[in-house]
Amino acid sequence: MSVYDDFNLTKDFDKDYCLQVFAPLNVAFVKGKGSYLFDQSGKKYLDMIGGIAVNSLGHNHPALTSALKKQVSELIHCSNYYYIPQRSALAYKLCRYSFADKCFFSNSGAEANEAAIKLARGYFYYKGEDRYEIITAKMSFHGRTMGTIAATGQEKFRKPFEPNLPGFKYVTYNDMDELESAVTPNTAAVMLELIQGESGVHPADQDYIKAVRKLCNEKGILLIIDEVQTGVGRTGRLFCYENYGITPDIMSLAKGLGGGVPIGATLCTAKVASGFKVGDHGSTFGGNPLACTAGNVVMDQFIDKDLLTNVGKVSSYLFSELHNLKNKYSTIANVRGMGLLIGIEFTPGISASLLRERLLGEGVLVSAIGSSTIRIAPPLNLTETDAKVFIKVLTKILKDQKKRPLSETAAYGSTAKEPGKREDYIDKELEA
Ligand SMILES: Cc1ncc(COP(=O)(O)O)c(C=O)c1O
């Protein structure tokens, strides 16, 4: 027995040697195929969270696996001192299929957002304008670096690490008046998610986003859209901004772009590209041959294989079934989201973590956000047959509610957490 096949050893080593910033569920996965994961004992789980919107092609996808195997045997890494064909190819595809003219590669969502923030400030610096303020939304989530916690509109992520990076302001999401009043002559950018994923899957209003774009145009402010979670097909369009009929000036991507291989990308218009001169930004690993090979395979699934059609089809099925469940079970308060990024909010008192635990027991993986919402962000090639399995298991758990209650008080006789306040949403211990 080794740490690789003995769960108790895996757990002990984690406790002893890893910084305890996560609170993992009681399982370790060793293999995946399609939309399924297998734990150390061989038990099979339907993966409805896809590594938090990362495994866009599921697990062990033949095209991704074979391209990566080939690339590993040829060249894993090569520095940005040199031209990298895989990087050139991926940059071309991202620009060709989006609003953007230029692209910078990094390794994560936070880094993609760091580059976006720096680029916006650099743009005004080189123009000789004193603009540095970035307005972001309350309840947003942009990452864990010092720059991106400053951008994140939730004090709990910033407080322990003060002093925070200055120059950020937070306004209520979907409130145009508040945004207008926050603008000053020093405003460089407005930075928004189109769906606040980490705080409960809350989509922005169409009218709001259109009005934000208009305001930015009128005032010469840059619009940064964080598509780390919503990008690369997740919402049924290649990029979520397409659902809103606007284009950003800067967009960040990560999560699904590499299908599981770490990669981040910051895209911008030709005009904004003047914000970075040679030496202003960089990354040792960003844009390396291995990561860009993954990005190319993922993009090819949209360009050549019409993956978006599947997202639309399976999304319609899931929304329709979830709305049926909502009509049947009063414990479902709301179903929201777009494409294959869906939040299912339960009535106060129903514990999302208990529900997640029940689903895990039945071999289905989801995430719990806040006290009463579960999120699904499965592989984009999830089949309708697999989606049916999810609905069947969820229905069974909801049917059993009388016998096996989903409130912690009823289940454990202990006091349940405070019912769903929006402020409680991101569970620091549980979310990546
Ligand atoms: C919208 C958004 N931006 C940024 C991030 C940070 O990405 P990463 O964890 O890859 O740094 C996340 C992660 O959940 C996210 O959802």
**Tens digits of residue pLDDT in 233-279:** 999 999 999 999 999 999 999 999 999 999 999 999 999 999 999 99
Residue 429 maps to a domain = no
Per-residue tokens: 186: 């020093």
Which pLDDT does position 417 carry in this prediction? 46
Residue 47 maps to a domain = yes
What is the average per-residue pLDDT within 155-166? 97
Residue 7 maps to a domain = no
Residue 206 maps to a domain = yes
> Which structural domain, as residue segments, surrounds residue 44?
16-61+307-424
Q: Do 380 and 284 belong together in one domain? A: no
Residue 298 maps to a domain = yes
Q: Do 150 and 47 belong together in one domain? A: no
Q: Do 69 and 213 belong together in one domain? A: yes
Residue 108 Cα to ligand 1 midpoint, Å, equals: 7
| CATH number of the domain enclosing 46 | 3.90.1150.10
| CATH number of the domain enclosing 154 | 3.40.640.10
- Report the alpha-carbon distance of residue 351 to residue 344 in Å, rounded: 12
Would the CB of 378 count as within 6 Å of ligand 1? no
Which pLDDT does position 413 carry in this prediction? 63
Q: Do 154 and 178 belong together in one domain? A: yes
- Domain termination site, one of 275, 303, 331: 303
Would the CB of 141 count as within 6 Å of ligand 1? yes
Residue 386 maps to a domain = yes
- How many domains are there within the chain? 2
pTM: 0.95
Q: Do 35 and 119 belong together in one domain? A: no
Q: Where are the alpha helices (DSSP H) in 162-288?
A: 176-182, 206-219
Atom of ligand 1 nearest to the CA of 145: 11
- Domain termination site, one of 303, 335, 350: 303
**Of 49, 255, 431, which is best to mutate to test ligand 1, by the most ligand atoms within 8 angstroms of its C-beta?**
255
- Report the alpha-carbon distance of residue 34 to residue 28 in Å, rounded: 18
408 pLDDT tier (thresholds 50, 70, 90): confident
Q: Do 178 and 286 belong together in one domain? A: yes
Per-residue three-class SS string for 174-208: CCHHHHHHHCCCCEEEEEECCEECCCCCEECCHHH
Atom of ligand 1 nearest to the CA of 227: 1
Active site residues: 141, 226, 255
Would the CB of 229 count as within 6 Å of ligand 1? yes
Residue 3 maps to a domain = no
Residue 106, CA atoms < 13 Å, CB-side half-sphere: 21
- Domain termination site, one of 252, 269, 303: 303
Residue 11 maps to a domain = no
Digit-coded pLDDT (tens) for 344-370: 999 999 999 999 999 999 999 999 998
Would the CB of 339 count as within 6 Å of ligand 1? no
Q: Do 57 and 69 belong together in one domain? A: no
Q: Do 177 and 138 belong together in one domain? A: yes
Would the CB of 226 count as within 6 Å of ligand 1? yes
- Nearest Cα neighbor of 311 from 387, 370, 374, 248 is 387
Q: Do 145 and 34 belong together in one domain? A: no
- Report the alpha-carbon distance of residue 10 to residue 40 in Å, rounded: 10
Atom of ligand 1 nearest to the CA of 226: 1
Phi, psi of 44, deg, nearest 5: -100, 140
Q: Do 402 and 294 belong together in one domain? A: no
Three-state DSSP state, 261: coil
